[in-house]
Amino acid sequence: MGKIIFYEDRNFQGRSYECSSDCPELTPYLSRCNSCRVESGCFMVYDHPNFMGNQYFVRRGEYSDYQRMGMSESIRSCRLVPQHRGAYKMRIYERENFGGQMHELMEDCDSLQDRFHMSDMQSCNVMDGHWLMYEQPHYRGKMMYLRPGEYRNWRDMGMGMNRVSSMRRIMDSC
């Protein structure tokens, strides 16, 4: 179980709201959210309601300013990342709707280009585990959280990300 505390202002100031599960909309509790403190667990925080827009992975620690996280607006929703025990497995595809080259991953990949000679991937099927996808090689740029399921294309997901060039497993003891 996780626990995150959101604050209206930077540096943990202003009104606060405590959360221990998914929250699709923070505005009923706070007019804005500009900082947070994770007391336990791991979360994804989003700058739009309903787990949309830019997202950032947070683990136990203090995050005094949402802008340092790469958020364009204040934090508007959050999702608890459940702890996963066991294997990690994902099939990645070169094209949308599971088309083109297919490769299977069971570990982190810091560059699709270097490892599979793919400049990008457009769809995937996460079979086991929880993953972070990154826009650029070497785990840089915008990130996107994927849990088990089928992802036919990035554009329709509303994540503000059009390409994936690296990915890693979420193995933190959340």
Statement: residue 146 has pLDDT above 70? yes
Chain-centroid distance, C-alpha 16: 23
Strand 42-48 and strand 52-58: pairing? antiparallel
pLDDT band per the 50, 70, 90 thresholds, residue 133: very high
Whether the per-residue pLDDT at 10 is higher than 80: the answer is yes
Closest CA to 46 of 57, 59, 55, 37: 55
Report field, pTM of the whole predicted structure over 0.85: yes
Helix, strand, coil shares, percent, the chain, to 5: 10, 50, 40
Query: Average pLDDT of 132-138?
Result: 94
Q: Higher-confidence residue: 104 or 1? A: 104
Q: Classify domain 89-169 at the CATH superfamily level.
A: Crystallins (2.60.20.10)
Question: What fold is seen in the domain 3-81?
Answer: Gamma-B Crystallin; domain 1 (2.60.20)
For residue 85, what is the DSSP state?
-
pLDDT digits (tens, 9 = 90+) for 11-69: 999 999 999 999 999 999 999 999 999 999 999 999 899 998 888 999 999 999 877 77
Q: What is the pLDDT of residues 67-124, one digit of tens each?
A: 777 666 789 999 999 988 899 999 999 999 999 999 999 999 999 999 999 877 889 9
For the cut 70, the answer to whether the pLDDT of residue 156 exceeds it is: no
Which sequence spans correspond to the domains of the chain? Answer: 3-81, 89-169
Residue 37, H or E segment: strand 35-40
Strand partners, 39: none
Do 3-81 and 89-169 share a fold?
yes
